[in-house]
Amino acid sequence: MLTWHTLGALRVTADGRDVTPTAPKVRQVLAVLLARRNSVVPLSVLTAELWSGRPPRSATATVQTYAYQLRKALHGGEDPGPGEDGPLATHAHGYALRVRPGECDAEEFTLLTEQARAALADADPAGALALLDRARQLWQGPPFADVAHGPALHGHTLRLEELQLQSEELRVTAGFRLGRHRELVGELKELACAHPLHEWFQGSLIIALERCGRRSEALAVYQRLSALLRDELGLDPSPGLQRLRQHVLTDEVSTADLDLLPG
């Protein structure tokens, strides 16, 4: 069984044995095929990825060579026999990488996040949190962290990173519904520090601090965010955050204030 690791360094294992190609361009081809797994990736997409839209005249032949090297790596370094495509299928104008359910960490991460969202909608925050804990363990770093990114990989990476932020938002929401305000403070401080202009994380930190009786710290978070928005973007905090600040001042904060936050 092949296992494809994309959330962090690119790695491929076959029954526990590492078969990851080492040549940078071959790894880049593999990464694009993984990003668009189970669909045909045209040669034009691969050449644009490899040569930033300025492919050499030999681009098609070179990509074919990379595909051969990739197929060989996935066969454990041996030449595949006649008609033995394995997971890499050749089509008239491109290639497709066959990835079965449960083999790719990014696909599993997406599935677990969707299941957690459904669990929250069904009023099961504990179940959602368990699913999100499993999803978090899959995330070992930026997608394809050790592969050069052209336009296709860059766009795919942005999509996955956005999904990861949504997963963190779901974790916080589940934690609030379980009454874990105190436990969330440290996690939210880390998220707020990593995303200083992310109003949802900042607002969630304000709620957690206030619910723990740390009103002055909650107001300090708001003031820092307000100053940063003004200095960086010339903006005021969103109306929802402004209402949240008023709730802090009047000691009326509740987890329902999450609905005030932009997101």
Q: Where are the extended beta strands (E) located within 15-130?
A: 17-18, 41-42, 88-91, 94-97
Q: Is residue 162 part of a domain?
A: no
Q: Final residue of a domain: which of 97, 127, 149?
A: 97
39: left (phi over 0), alpha (psi -120 to 50) or beta: beta
Q: Is residue 78 part of a domain?
A: yes
The amino acid at residue 119 is A
Q: Is residue 164 part of a domain?
A: no
Name beta bridge partners: 16. none
Q: Final residue of a domain: which of 40, 64, 97?
A: 97
Range of the domain at 234: 181-263
Q: Is residue 121 part of a domain?
A: no
Q: Is residue 118 part of a domain?
A: no
Please give the model's pTM, rounded to 2 decimal places. 0.90
CATH code assigned at 224: 1.25.40.10
Residue 60: CB partners within 8 Å, gap ≥ 6? 43, 47
Determine how many CB atoms are found less than 10 A away from the CB of residue 9: 15
User: With the C-alpha atoms ordered 21, 22, 23, 27, is the resulting torsion angle positive or negative?
Assistant: positive
CATH code assigned at 67: 1.10.10.10
**Total domain count, the chain:** 2
Rounded Cα distance between 241 and 261, Å, is 6
Local structure of 3: helix, strand or coil: strand
Q: Final residue of a domain: which of 97, 132, 159?
A: 97
Q: Is residue 104 part of a domain?
A: no
Local structure of 103: helix, strand or coil: coil
Q: For each of the chain's 263 residues, which pLDDT tens digit applies?
A: 899 999 999 999 998 899 999 999 999 999 999 999 999 999 999 999 999 867 888 999 999 999 999 999 998 666 665 555 689 999 999 999 999 999 999 999 999 999 999 999 999 999 999 999 999 999 999 999 999 999 999 999 999 999 999 999 999 999 999 999 999 999 999 999 999 999 999 999 999 999 999 999 999 999 999 999 999 999 999 999 999 999 999 988 888 878 888 87
Q: Is residue 207 part of a domain?
A: yes
Q: Is residue 154 part of a domain?
A: no
